[in-house]
Amino acid sequence: MPKPASRVRQDAYEAVFGALAHPARRRVLLAVYFNGGAMTAGEIAAMFAHAWQTTTRHLQVLEAAGLLTHERQGRMRIYRIDRKRLALVSDWLAHFQTPVKHRTEGKQDVRNKQTDSRQGEAAKARSA
């Protein structure tokens, strides 16, 4: 049984959001992008104060997330950004564009809804 597509998707979100959670990695993506989409590992590492072995690892995280790809070019490695992958983030964000009757100010609604659907499952879920 091949792993279901939904699972893959799930992991992809995981990887992408996880990768974006670190400032150094966000910076790498921006830098690579503004450098025309590609930079060598050395150029990238040079942007940071930390040991570049550390950058190497960040690059691996970004690559594992599919946000970067690399390719050797002689003795150096060129990292290239894959903008398509960032679309996963916009896709996720797009959910919040879905129109939903937004009762953000209708505090009572929540209160009432709560009062009768509340602890049925909650308690069960908890005590399990």
Determine how many CB atoms are found less than 10 A away from the CB of residue 84: 9
Contact stretch for a second copy (CB under 8 A) within 1-9, 56-64, 69-77: 69-77
Which of 9, 51, 54, 57 is in the footprint of a second copy by CB under 8 A? 51
Q: How far is the CB of 2 from a second copy (least distance, A)?
A: 22
Should residue 64 be labelled a site residue for a second copy when binding is judged by CB under 8 A? no
Residue type, 50: H
Contact stretch for DNA (CB under 7 A) within 3-11, 18-26, 81-89, 96-104: 18-26
Joined together, the tokens standing for residue 57 give: 């690892």
> Residue with structure tokens 């908890």?
126
Which of 63, 66, 70, 78 is in the footprint of a second copy by CB under 8 A? 78
Strand partners, 69: 80
Binder of residue 110, out of a second copy, DNA, none (CB less than 5 to 8 A by kind): a second copy
In the sheet that holds 76-81, the strands lie side by side as 38-40, 76-81, 68-73
Q: What is the DSSP letter of 22?
A: S
Residues 6+ apart with CB under 8 A from 16: 65, 66, 67, 85, 86, 88, 89
Q: Which run of H or E residues covers position 42?
A: helix 41-46
Which residues within the stretch 21-40 sit at the binding site for DNA (CB under 7 A)? 21-22, 24, 40
Binder of residue 54, out of a second copy, DNA, none (CB less than 5 to 8 A by kind): DNA
**81 vs 69: CA distance, rounded Å:** 7
By CB under 8 A, name the binding residues for a second copy.
Answer: 10, 13-14, 17-18, 20-21, 23, 26, 29-30, 33-34, 36-40, 42-43, 45-49, 51-52, 71, 73-74, 76, 78, 80-81, 83, 86, 89-90, 92-93, 95-96, 98, 100-104, 106-107, 109-111, 114, 117-119, 121-122, 125-126, 128
